[in-house]
Amino acid sequence: MAVQEAVVTTPLTVTVNGQERAEEVETRLLLVHFLRETLGLTGTHVGCDTTSCGACTVLVDGTPMKSCTMFAVQAEGRELTTVEGLEGAGGPPPIQEAFSAEHGLQCGFCTPGMMLTSIALLEQSPSPTDEEIRWAISGNVCRCTGYQNIVKAVHHAAAAMKEGS
């Protein structure tokens, strides 16, 4: 841009994957760029960048939200979970195992968002029907799988999580 814009910053404290992070951020910084660029957590993807595809989905206090359509400052005091936060001490989480076992991905670009949306669904509905799963992931676009194997993967994860609990 020809005109140099003023930089307006504000302090921000959020909990990301269980860890408190305090940074000085530009007010206009989008949450997805805060996660990817300020914190280096590049598991959260920028897909369409127009609130359509869900690749940037993260959990805000446990609820899926599109981090490309939220300012970082709006997350002040909230608990965020990104795909990096799904990994427990015991290795890959059941949802990741399930996507792998059922071939619920090909290129993998939508997978972080798909997994986070699926986790939030399984929290509310531990044994979802096909229809519930398709409804829940209808804001997450996948251009590879045709969704069949994603639906299978969510069922697979549901069964594994019930067994594990």
Partner 1 sequence: MVTNDTIGPRGRRSNRRFRERGGVSVYPATFEYFAPTSVDEALDTLERFGDEAKVLAGGQSLIPLMKLRIAAPSALVDIGRIDGLDALEERDGRLEIGALVTHADCEKSDLLRGRYGVLGATAPLVSDPIVRNRGTVCGSVAHADPQGDWGSALLALGAEVVAQGPDGERAIPLEDFCSGPFMTALEPAEIVTSIRTADPGPRAGGTYLKLERKVGDFATVGVAVHVSLDNGTIGRAGIALTGVGPTNVKATAAEDALAGAAPDDDAIAEAARLAAEAAQPLDDVRGSAEYKRNVVRVYTERGLRTAIAAAQS
Binding site for partner 1 (CB under 8 A): 5-8, 10, 17, 26-30, 33-34, 36-43, 49-52, 54, 57, 63-66, 69-71, 73-74, 76, 84, 87, 92, 96, 117, 135-136, 138-140
C-beta closer to partner 1: residue 140 or 145: 140
CB hemisphere CA count around 39 (13 angstroms): 28
Minimum CB distance to partner 1 smaller for 27 or for 127: 27
Pick 58 or 161: Cβ nearer partner 1: 58
CA 124 → CA 113, 119, 141, 158, distances in Å? 17, 9, 21, 11
Q: How far is the CB of 46 from partner 1 (least distance, A)?
A: 9
Smallest distance from partner 1 to CB 99, Å: 11
In whole angstroms, what is the distance from residue 35 CA to residue 112 CA? 13
Strands 79-81 and 9-16: parallel
Amino acid (one-letter) located at 108: G
Q: Residue 115: which H helix or E strand, with range?
A: helix 111-124
Could you tell me the smallest distance in angstroms from the CB atom of residue 79 to partner 1?
Answer: 15
What SS3 class is residue 16?
strand
Residue 80: CB minimum distance to partner 1, A: 13
Query: Is the Cβ of residue 87 or residue 123 nearer to partner 1 in the bound state?
Result: 87
